[in-house]
A and B are shown apart, each in its own frame.
Chain A
Amino acid sequence: MENFLQNSLPVANLVDKSIDWVTENLAGFFRAVQSSGSTIMDFVSDTLSFIHPLILLVIITLLAFIISEKKKSFTILTALGLLYIYNQGLWSGMINTFTLVLLASIISIIIGVPLGIWMAKSERAKQIINPILDFMQTMPAFVYLIPAVAFFGIGMVPGVFASVIFALPPTVRFTNLGIREIPAELIEAAESFGSTDKQKLIKVELPLAKNTIMAGVNQTIMLALSMVVTASMIGAPGLGNGVLSALQHAEIGAGFVSGLALVVLAIIIDRFTQFANKPKKQMQKMSPWRKFLAPVLLVSFLLTGFTNLFLQAQTEQKDQITLAYVEWDSEVASTNVLAEVLKSQGYDVSLVPLDNAVAWKAVAEGNADASVSAWLPTTHQGQYAQYSNNLDDLGSNMDGTKLGLAVPAYMNIKSIAELNNQAQRQIIGIEPGAGIMARTEEALDSYSNLSNWTLTTSSTGAMITSLEQALRNREEIVITAWMPHWMFAKYDLVLLDDPNNIFGGEESIHTIARKGLEADHKEAYDIINAFSWTPTDLQSVMLAISEGQSPSQAAKEWIELNANKVDEWLK
């Protein structure tokens, strides 16, 4: 007992082991799911992107008009909402989000309805499934992201996987409820005429439970939508990216813009599912072609999709390069510069913002081609130790970086050793997966004067916001900081001395690439390998971005101004 209280059980270890086992043993299955899943999703989103936004907008508005039975307000709201999304340049994000939600919902229905039926039919199944559903609904959604990456890598597929787990319970619960609340007399009537179980289910139970089931499906769709933001941390494209990057950069406006687009999408989808769930009686009074709406739409959608595929097959397929990065200002700048250079060489480049640990994993497992944001040897030493065998370290792309703790100059402190009771003994950190956070934890252990200090995790953007507030009010604040960063150019900050050398001396940022990139895309590999620049270069791009230019715009301008340097990389 004594022992039990002192030593924690190896639960985490056990879960790791079993997830590893599953990942290894079902690798073939997961790969098949991922490739077929990606194919389907690409087909849907490519088809929707293939239709010109304004044409699609008109089609959706018309559908809204028909489905809502000529309700003016909803039709106008749909048109205005979609126009807003188009105007803000979030159209492709919306298409991706819609695809993710659509597939997550369809899969949830395919899995959830049968589960719900089984639950309604069997008390034992109900006793087993109910606690699992409770578990699924209360477990923080972030937890699903980890196995999702382990199983399916990064991108849309794990996003759908996580969304399904998160959004499945309402469909199951409502299906169960809907079938259970059918009056006993109707069930008896169906049985007394000698219906088989299947007849009873199809002719009586499902039609009668339909409204309740649809309410559950509607809930599921909304949950899948809310998962979009979370799923963007593991590379699911869509509107969630905008929200997440706004959070990491503390850009209130940008966050609001993407958030509002999500709201518009949610309202449209919600109303569509509600209007589609009209009782049969009203269906009969309606124009006869509403009945054929769904099949007609599906057929025309597929036709468009195949036309698109056919046209794509005619044109030269570009090579696709996936760059993983973390939403730190420095990495946003460098990744965008490299991406613009690659694009100029005719590559189709997709940028996937990820959490740091996930980015390493993605490159190591070949889900992303390369990343130019590996801070070595100190900051990311943990990730390096874990993944270095499975990826190529292409060496430094920038030297002279530094990490540490920073304070405003007016606090009159020069070294970490001088910290005692300032700033409520709190260090404002960034994302928990970042290397600098691990270093800071070490520092808390190593410096005796920091023994009762705490490190607060937040995000890069939130840290910057806290810093700006403290500067405005001339309050004390200690932050985790790194150079190059525009905050040192913009504010009067001091990077504290590190006598115990916990944060390492000067570091470099390295480029890492997946094994086999050289064999697959020799040209791109050479460019990525040659990519290197100086902190000054980086700082100028960062400042341009922090002053409101879009990352790709800032990158393009820098490339124009530094043509010589870029030409060096292309040799």
Chain B
Amino acid sequence: MDKILEVKNVTKIFGKKRKQALEMVQAGKSKTEILEKTGCTVGVYDASFDVKEGEIFVIMGLSGSGKSTLVRLINRLINPTDGSILIDNQDIAKMNKEELRHIRRHSVNMVFQKFGLFPHKTILENTEYGLEVRGIEKAERQRLAEQALDNSSLLAFKDQYPDQLSGGMQQRVGLARALANNPDILLMDEAFSALDPLIRKEMQDELLDLQEKVHKTIIFITHDLNEALRIGDRIALMKDGKIVQIGSGEEILTNPANDFVSEFVEDVDRSKVLTAQNIMIKPITTNVDIDGPKVALKRMDTEEVSMLLATNRQRKLLGVLTADAAFKANMRQHSLVDYIDTGIRTVQKDTLLEDILPLIHDSGAPIAVLDQERLVGVLIKGRVIEALTKQGIESTE
């Protein structure tokens, strides 16, 4: 695999007294201190990394960490203060307008967080924009644009305007617009952050499927660890304009470079004793005082599970309702109460992990976590085992 992109010691400082700010950064002063002293903002400081052809390279960090600035340095929407950015061994920091335009038209394209679609152009016109500015003639560029839309199954919408589409569709258009150009590198700036979680997951899967087909080099920006772990071949973690660690998801989780990283990936301190509360997940319940069998079945369908925890109005746990039981109740038009399996194990929320282990070991069924009588969560095997290994756990939502 060749390196397609090399970023060497790139620094970007916004403001007037750049020299002074640069000295302060080198002296290790904090961002706020520099801002107070010089009025300059350090966007990116001394970033170096390289990206191989066909890999998905994720840049992750909290907001204000400089990741968006970094991605804009790669296609020079922002000019670097210092350092070099090599695309196919050509330094774009030194290019004139003409050469830079050529790079933007042919090798690097971008997908934006808020989609960046032109509201006054139809979906097709948006998709062919990159080809249009290249001066490709109409019939040809429409063919390519329609092909790109067809790949993301949006061809039916080609004469609609962006505001007539949902967020997910708009982002697919943004992606199709970038891909219609057939660039070597695809920059994605928090491309899925503006979408709701469900669509977001879908889009991530789609992107991975697409990557199977097109093998693009993708620089992906996100502030979401899950997203990074799902799609990133390698991840660079940024803080205050500096890259603090680069590695695969596994490496970052197992050998965090410093406290910031370990905090960021929420590594669990083993010395802290875990209780059921720390590792439970949200239960999927049915309130049998209100719900009938049809509602219960519908919920299983949407949540993609085969059993529900049955409670009453006061959230007091009654037992488990399996799909079979709900189905039978539905056939016979009975209420759910008689079909609940009461044989479910329960633990209190402050039960220690070591006491839970034997329980979970010999049963595939979930264990309900109670606060006195009330149901607050549920334990599943995978989560408990994960908690025992030395890797991070995300906080329960």
Contact = CB atoms under 8 A, between A and B. Distances in A.
B391 interface: no
Contact of A194 (B112, B116, B119, B134): B134
Interface in A235-258: none
Contacts of A280: 120
A207 B104 contact: no
Interface stretch (B85-93, B125-133, B239-247, B341-349): B125-133
Contacts of B120: 207-208, 280
A189 B110 CA distance: 7
Interface string A394-423: 000000000000000000000000000000
Contacts of B110: 188-189, 192
Given A194-B105, A280-B120, A188 B112 contact: yes
A189 B104 contact: no
B133 A204 contact: no
A193 B104 contact: yes
Nearest to B131: A193
A42 interface: no
A195 B133 CA distance: 6
A185 B118 contact: no
A566 B100 CA distance: 83
A194 B99 CA distance: 10
Interface in B54-85: 72, 75, 77
Contacts of B100: 194
B181 interface: yes
B77 A193 contact: no
Contact of A203 (B72, B106, B132, B181): B132
Contacts of B299: none
Contacts of A192: 75, 77, 104, 108-110, 187
B133 A194 contact: yes
B120 to A, nearest CB: 5
A186 B134 contact: no
B113 interface: yes
Contacts of B102: 194
A314 interface: no
A481 B358 CA distance: 118
B293 to A, nearest CB: 47
Interface size class of A (residues with CB under 8 A): 10 to 19
B230 interface: no
A185 B133 contact: no
A281 interface: yes
Nearest to A200: B133
B161 interface: yes
Given A193-B104, A194-B104, A280-B120, A185 B113 contact: yes
Interface residues of B, number: 29
B98 to A, nearest CB: 10
Contacts of B181: 193
Contacts of A10: none
B31 interface: no
A193 B118 contact: no
Contacts of B108: 192
A185 B112 contact: yes
Contact of B116 (A186, A196, A199, A208): A186
Contacts of B77: 188, 191-192
Contacts of B294: none
Interface string A453-477: 0000000000000000000000000
Interface in A302-339: none
A196 B72 CA distance: 18
Contacts of B103: 194
B119 A193 contact: no
A57 B308 CA distance: 76
Given A192-B109, A194-B104, A185 B114 contact: yes
Nearest to A279: B120
A183 B114 contact: yes
Contacts of B134: 194
Interface string A189-222: 1111111100100011001100000000000000
B2 to A, nearest CB: 24
B114 A204 contact: no
A204 B118 contact: yes
Interface in B145-198: 161, 181, 187
Given A183-B114, A188-B77, A192-B110, A208 B119 contact: yes
A208 B101 CA distance: 23
A288 to B, nearest CB: 16
Contacts of A189: 110, 112, 116-118
A179 to B, nearest CB: 14
Contacts of B114: 183, 185
Nearest to B187: A192
A196 B133 contact: yes
A188 B116 contact: yes
B327 to A, nearest CB: 49
A195 B187 CA distance: 17
B186 to A, nearest CB: 11
A175 B181 CA distance: 32
Contacts of A188: 72, 77, 110, 112, 116
Nearest to A183: B114
B378 to A, nearest CB: 42
Contacts of B161: 281
Nearest to B103: A194
Contacts of B116: 185-186, 188-189
A199 B109 contact: no
A193 B109 contact: yes
Nearest to A210: B120
Contacts of A183: 114
A207 B118 CA distance: 10
Closest 8 CB pairs of A and B: A194-B104, A194-B105, A189-B116, A193-B130, A192-B110, A194-B101, A185-B116, A195-B133
Given A193-B104, A203-B129, 11 more contacts: A185-B114, A188-B112, A188-B116, A189-B110, A189-B118, A191-B77, A192-B187, A194-B104, A196-B133, A204-B118, A208-B119
8 contacts: A185-B114, A188-B72, A188-B110, A192-B75, A193-B133, A194-B130, A194-B133, A203-B132
